[in-house]
Homo-oligomer: A and B are copies of this chain.
């Protein structure tokens, strides 16, 4: 199914893009070019591009988070900018570490500006993210920046585990979910709660919003794992069965491994192979995973997380519009063709 883009995304972009551009302008020209290229604002030669910049889901969450606490969206703007900068920091570094040469059909920054360009631009954005939050006077900003720093630790932990898991054969479903919680959940938890923090909300609301974000992150990631195997290439923009091609130990795969038996043995043997697998072989492996319950379990778990994410929102009293928009955003982020 196709969904219309929620209002919160459109409003979020209108507020966030100019603020984001102003902040990136503070960087040294060399690093500014790397970041503007990475964001799709300019090409490798520095010429402006139209479009680009992504959906800005995290900033939209940060702005709604302020509104959920009864404040104007603008109060969440420093948080919106900060979480997007942290997201860019992690993409710049992860693409380099993972050796990925393409992102959204464009050459990744490190392939254009070298490893040092990507490392330094990422470092600068991480510093800048904290700086933007701390430029807001008062105690809420300290609290928000502290929370963001803790989120960064989780993000880095998740990436470290992801790289380690590639070399391990004994990874459990619990390990994988914990790793994905770091890689995806932590920053979404920050996105959904920092705006409320800046608005001076109490701990109960802040924690509820963080849980909403964290569970939304898990749901999103589980769906991403489903699409990585059973997604339609015309929708995902990735080759069919792409996660199997790269032998990625995503959640459906690990669920099938944990199920044990002959299917698990065959799957385990496949994961140790290297080189190009045939379409027929990949389709057979996908079939194995499905029969072992990998697809159903992952789908059910994504639904359970999304449900929990809605329940935690409904447990709080907040302005009706903010609640409705947070729910709509959760559905938008997770309703991809699966």
Contact = CB atoms under 8 A, between A and B. Distances in A.
A160 B116 CA distance: 8
A104 interface: no
Contacts of A152: 123-124, 127
Given A93-B123, A123-B93, A163-B116, A128 B153 contact: yes
A332 B119 CA distance: 33
Interface stretch (A54-62, A142-150, A292-300, A314-322): A142-150
A164 to B, nearest CB: 6
Interface of A: 26-28, 30-31, 89, 93, 96-97, 115-116, 119-120, 122-124, 126-128, 130-131, 134-135, 137-139, 141-142, 145-146, 149-150, 152-153, 156-157, 159-161, 163-164
Contacts of A146: 131, 134-135
B160 A31 contact: yes
Given A97-B115, A119-B96, A134 B127 contact: no
A153 B27 CA distance: 8
A87 to B, nearest CB: 14
Contact of A149 (B31, B116, B120, B134): B134
A30 to B, nearest CB: 5
A115 B118 CA distance: 13
A130 B128 contact: no
Contact of A97 (B116, B135, B145): B116
Interface centre among A26, A126, A134 (most CB of B within 10 A): A134
B134 A142 contact: yes
A157 to B, nearest CB: 5
Given A141-B142, A142-B134, A160 B30 contact: yes
Contact of A130 (B124, B149, B161): B149
A307 to B, nearest CB: 31
A96 to B, nearest CB: 7
Interface centre among A131, A138, A159, A160 (most CB of B within 10 A): A160
Given A97-B116, A115-B97, A116-B97, A28 B149 contact: no
Given A96-B119, A115-B97, A164 B127 contact: no
A115 B145 CA distance: 28
Contacts of A27: 153
A119 B119 contact: yes
A273 to B, nearest CB: 23
Contacts of A138: 139, 142
A124 B30 CA distance: 24
Contacts of A139: 138-139, 142
Interface centre among A31, A96, A131 (most CB of B within 10 A): A131
Given A141-B142, A149-B131, A28 B161 contact: yes
A321 to B, nearest CB: 31
A93 B31 CA distance: 16
A156 B97 contact: no
A30 B159 CA distance: 11
Given A126-B127, A131-B149, 5 more contacts: A93-B123, A96-B115, A120-B156, A134-B142, A134-B149
Nearest to A124: B156
A30 B162 CA distance: 12
